[in-house]
Amino acid sequence: MNNALTKIATAQAAAGGRYPRFGRYLLEVEVIRTKEGFKGDSAIAELKVRESEPLSGGETPSRPGETVDYVENLSDQKKGGGGRFKSFLMTLVGADEYEFANPAALKKFFDERQAGTHLLIRCEVFPKQLPAREGHAGKVISGYRWSHVELNNEQLAQAEHARKASKLPALTDALA
């Protein structure tokens, strides 16, 4: 049988990748990582949808239980992906920018400590119209509006229990 057909037949079906559809979400961080690829370095947050609701008059959002990805290209400084991912991390832990000015402060989110894993964050994913260029209509991309979630005692206990089950250090140790 044709090798290309075998690859297609054994691949997992993908309907538009794992990007969140337009909507409002409560998300739980599963893992934060970087990846080197042909388009450069990327920062990726894999997020589990805990709650979702559509935007007014919008499409069906990603469902609770699904895993979605928030990805930013870090290699093209003109596009500002590094700053957007930094904002995501700052919002996740409710920190100020000066606390993330040093790469060593960011390392705890990407190394074995996984400081952001099992934390919650709110997000609104909305359509963002890019300007038209060179006679082509501007395409619509996803915009992200992040909001910090202050964990209550029950949510904090759930996060700590999940971190322990994942063999990750306690949040206070991971964030130190």
Domain ranges in the chain? 14-175
- For 78, what's the count of Cα atoms within 13 Å in the CB-facing half-sphere? 0
User: Binning pLDDT at 50, 70 and 90, where does residue 87 land?
Assistant: very high
Task: Please give the distance of CA 31 from its chain centroid, rounded to a whole number.
Answer: 9
17-71 residue pLDDT tens: 689 999 999 999 999 999 987 778 899 999 999 999 999 887 899 999 999 999 9
The residues that bridge with 143 in the sheet, in sequence order, are: 126
Is-contact 151 175, C-beta < 8 A?
A: no
Mean pLDDT comparison of 5-14, 64-73, 96-105, highest-scoring range = 64-73
Average pLDDT of the residues of the chain: 88
Highest mean pLDDT among 29-33, 97-101, 104-108, 125-129: 29-33
pLDDT surpasses 70 at 5: no
The residue length of the chain stands at: 176
- Residue 169, SS3? coil
* Sequence letter at residue 28: E
Cα within 13 Å of Cα(58), Cβ side: 16
Q: How far apart are CA 153 and CA 157, in angstroms?
A: 6
Answer yes or no: are the C-beta atoms of 109 and 85 closer than 8 Å.
Answer: no
As a whole number, mean pLDDT of residues 74-103 equals 89
* Least confident among 16-20, 114-118, 130-134: 16-20
Here the contacts of 74-83 (C-beta below 8 Å, separation 24 or greater) are 74/34, 74/40, 74/41, 74/42, 74/43, 75/39, 75/40, 75/41, 76/40, 81/42, 81/43, 82/43
pTM flag (> 0.75): yes
The secondary structure of residue 102, as a DSSP letter, is: S
What integer pLDDT is reported at residue 32 of this predicted model?
95
pLDDT at position 10 over 70: no
